[in-house]
Amino acid sequence: MKVRTDFPRKVAETADMGIVLQDGTRLSARVWMPEDAADNPVPAILEYIPYRKRDGTLARDELMHPYFAGHGYAAVRVDIRGNGDSDGLMEDEYSEQELADACRIIDWLSRQPWCTGAVGMMGKSWGGFNCLQTAFLQPPALKAVISVCSTTDRFADDIHFKGGCLLGENFGWGMVMLSYSSRPPDPALRADWREEWLKRLEAEPFLAPRWASHQARDDYWKHGSVCEDYARMTVPVLSIGGWADNYMNTVAALCENVPAPVQGLVGPWVHQYPHQAVPGPAIGFLQVAVRWWDRWLKGIENGAEEDGAYRAWMQHSAPPDASAPYRPGHWVVERDWPSARVQSHRLHLGPQGLGTSGPLHHVINTPQHVGLQAGEFFPMGLNAEMPGDQREDDGLSVCFDGAPLDEPLDLLGAARMSLTLSSDRPRANLIARLCDVAPDGSSVRIAHGMLNLCHRKDRARPTDMLPGQAEEVVLTLDQMAYRLAPGHRLRLALSTSYWPFVWPAADAATLTLTEGTLDLPVHAGSTSDEWQPPEPESARPWNHRILREGHAARRIERDLLSGRQVLVVEEDGGDRENLDHGLISGETMSERWEIDAADPLSARATIRWEQRLSRGDWNVRTEATGEMTATADALVTKARLTAWEGETVIFQRDYEDSVPRVHL
C-alpha cells in the first residue's frame, strides 16, 4: 500500500474534542481537519462506533482519517456513549439512544464554524450498520453515506440469526462485546477514569441471551432494519461488501431498493476495509471514498454517480484455501441492478444429480459435526478463517452434482432452491451449500444458505412442521459472483447440521426430499476487467512498537473413542505501545466449539477474552469467560466478568441465563 504524505491541505489533529449532548453527556471525538478549516470551512465525515479510538481502531483510523482531512474534510471519529473516552452507559447495539445521539452529533458538527454544514457518515460493521440506520432517520445535515460490511435486515442478515437459524456467533459476539466494553477510559484524558470504569462494569449487560430470546422477526429486530421502509433512504449510499464476509447480501438489496442514488461494490474480501482487506486484490478505497464525498458533500461534478450501479469481483475457480492471500477473478460492472445480463437458469434435482430427471427420494439426517470447514461468520484475516476444502463436509451431506462443464459458467446474484420435503420432527434446520468441485475432487464453497423450517412461511410468525407431511420449501442462498472453469462441476450439498456456524436444533431430525429445483443466476457478456480500481493508498501508519509478538492457532480435534469433535480457535494479539501517548494495549482470545456427532444436545461452546492496558505504573486488565450449552427446552449461558487494577481484583460479576427454545 502506498503511503501518502503530500496532501492538498495540511492537517491538524485534536485528540479529544468534546461533543456535549442535550442531556449533558460528553462524547469524546478524535478529529483531523485542515489547519485552515476555521477560515475555509469543510464538510465533516463521521465514524461513530464503540471500539475505542484511543487503542481499539487506532491503527486503521490513522490510515484513513488524516487522508480524508488532507483532501479537505473534517474526519471525526467518535466513541459511542459508554465506550472509550465517552461518558454514559451502553445499553445494546443500535439502541434508540445510540441513533438519537448520532443525529445530535451530526447536527452539532453541521453548526461548527469549521464545517460547511454538510456531513457524511461512514463505517464498517457496527459503523456500517448505524450509518444506514441514521440515514433512515433523515437528520437534515446528513448528505451521504458509505456503509461497509453492513445489513438492511437485522434478523435475516446479522450475526445473531440467519434464515431463522440461531448462529453460534450470537454467543461469540456477546462474549466479544462483554470483553470490549469492559475497558476503562484513558487516564491521560480523564481524571475520573476509575469512577467511570466502575460505573460501566456495574451496568454492563451480557447481551447474548437477550438476542437469543428474540427467535422471530419481531419489533426488536425491525428496529434498525432499514428494509422496513426503503423509501426513507433519501441520501446517496455507497455500499461495500466482501465475498469472504457474511454481509454480502446488503449491497444488492440496497442497489435494488433504495430510491436515492446508490452504488454497490463487492470484492473478494474478508470483514475489512477494502484498502487493507484480504484476499487480494485490495483496492484504493480511500480514493473511491474521496470521489464519493467530493460529489455529494462538496457538489463537485466528477461523474461519481455514473461509476456503475453494481461493481463486483467475479471470482474464478481456484484451489480451496482457508487463508487465501489472493482470489483470481475479474471486475464486472452492471450499469443497472438487477442486471439485464443475468438470466435465471433452472436445474432439476434428480436421482443422478443436478440437471437430471426422474423420481427423487433422498433422506437427509447428517452428523452434528458437519460444518467444521465453514469458516468464521466474518473472517478478519489469514488465520484459516475462510471456508476450507468442503470435501469432508460434502462427504457427510446429501450432494447433487452437475456434469463436468464444457465451458466457463458465470454466476452473479443469488441462487434459489425450491424443495418438496417432509420432516419427522416439528423443528429442523436445512443448510444448502453451492460448491465448485475440481477434477481432483477438491470442493470450494461458492455460496451458502440456511433455513430453520419453522420459518418456511413467515419469519415474524414461525410455525412448526407437521411431521410426515410434505411441504414446498423455498431457500434463497447468499449473493455470489463466481466463474466455474471448464472441467469443474457444480455441487449442491444439503445438510441438517452446520456446526459451529449454526447452533443445532434440539432433535436430530430426518428430512425426506421428494422433489427439487435450483434456479441459478447465470451472467453473460463479461470476458475481462470492466473496471480498473485505483491502487491502495493510505496516510502514515501509527507510531508504535511491538513489545510482545502475538500468535494464532486454529485446529480440529477428534476423540476417536467418544466421537467428540472440537474446533479450537486461539488468537493472541501480543502487546503494542503507542509511541505518541504511551498507552500499551493487548488482547488474547480462545474458543472451543465441541459436539458429539450423534447428539445435538452435546453442543458446548467456551470462550475466554482478556484485555490489557497499561502506562507507567498504571496497569489494568479484564477477563470475560463464558459457556453456552442447551437442553431440549432451553439455551443456557453462563459468563463471568473480572477486572483487575494492578494485581487487585476490583470487580467480579457472574451472569447466568436460561432462554426457552420457542422456535429452535
C-alpha to C-alpha distance for 159 and 148, rounded to whole angstroms: 15
Q: Are residues 321 and 207 in the same domain?
A: no
pLDDT tens digit string along 519-573?
999 999 898 999 999 999 999 999 999 999 999 999 999 999 888 999 999 999 9
Q: Which three cell numbers stand for residue 397?
A: 451431506
Q: How confident is the model at residue 564, as a pLDDT?
A: 95
Identify the pLDDT of residue 525: 86
- Shared domain check, 466 and 418: yes
Contact predicate 48/31, CB 8 Å: no
Residue 495 shares a structural domain with residue 563 = no
Domain membership flag for residue 535: no
The residue from 523, 553, 571 where one domain ends is 523
User: In the block, which residue shows the cell 462441476?
Assistant: 489
pLDDT in tens, 182-216: 999 999 999 999 999 999 999 999 999 999 999 99
Q: Tell me the pLDDT tens digit for each residue of 460-472.
A: 999 999 999 999 9
Q: Of the candidates 311, 334, 357, which is a domain's last residue?
A: 334
The answer on 172 and 150 residing in a single domain is no
Q: How far apart are CA 567 and CA 611, in angstroms?
A: 23
- Please tell me whether residue 393 adopts helix, strand or coil conformation: helix
Cell numbers placing 544: 508504535
Task: Identify whether residues 37 and 60 lie together within a single domain.
Answer: yes
**Residue where a domain stops, chosen among 307, 334, 361:** 334
Q: Is residue 339 in some structural domain?
A: no
How many domains does the chain contain in total? 3
Is residue 321 in a domain? yes
One domain, residues 155 and 65? yes
Q: Is residue 536 part of a domain?
A: no
> Is 528 within the bounds of a domain?
no
Provide the grid cell at 297: 458533500
Residues 189, 220, single domain; the answer is no
Range of the domain at 635: 165-214+543-579+582-664
- In the prediction, which pLDDT does 264 show? 98
Pairing, β 443-452 against β 429-437: antiparallel
Answer yes or no: is 538 within a domain: no
Q: What is the pLDDT of residue 510?
A: 98
Query: What integer pLDDT is reported at residue 392 of this predicted model?
Result: 97
Question: 327 and 240 in one domain?
Answer: yes
Distances (CA, A) of 555 to 188, 593, 597, 604: 41, 11, 17, 16
The average confidence (pLDDT) of the chain is 97
What pLDDT score was predicted for residue 143?
98
295 inside domain: yes
Residues 423 and 462 in one domain: yes
Total Cβ atoms within 10 A of residue 44:
29
Mean pLDDT confidence for 426-441 = 98
Do 518 and 603 reside in the same domain of the chain?
A: no
| 266 within domain boundaries | yes
- Give the pLDDT confidence of 294-330 residue by residue, as tens digits: 999 999 999 999 999 999 999 999 999 999 999 999 9
Mean pLDDT of 17-38: 97
| Same domain, yes or no: 223 and 359 | no
pLDDT of res. 128? 98
Q: Which of 72, 77, 66, 56 is nearest to 121 (CA)?
A: 77
3-state secondary structure of 506: coil
Give the CATH number of the domain where residue 18 resides: 3.40.50.1820
**Number of Cβ atoms within 10 Å of the Cβ of 24:** 8
Distant-in-sequence, close-in-space partners of 154: CB < 8 Å, separation ≥ 6:
94, 129, 160, 221, 222, 223, 224, 225
- Please report which confidence band the pLDDT of residue 518 belongs to, taking 50, 70 and 90 as the band edges: very high
Residues 513 and 623 placed together within one structural domain of the fold: no
Q: What is the pLDDT of residue 407?
A: 97
- Predicted local distance difference test score (pLDDT) of residue 167: 98
Q: Can you tell me the mean pLDDT for 489-516?
A: 98
Q: Are 427 and 505 in contact (CB under 8 A)?
A: yes
User: What is the mean pLDDT of the segment spanning 355-380?
Assistant: 95
What is the reported pLDDT for 99? 98
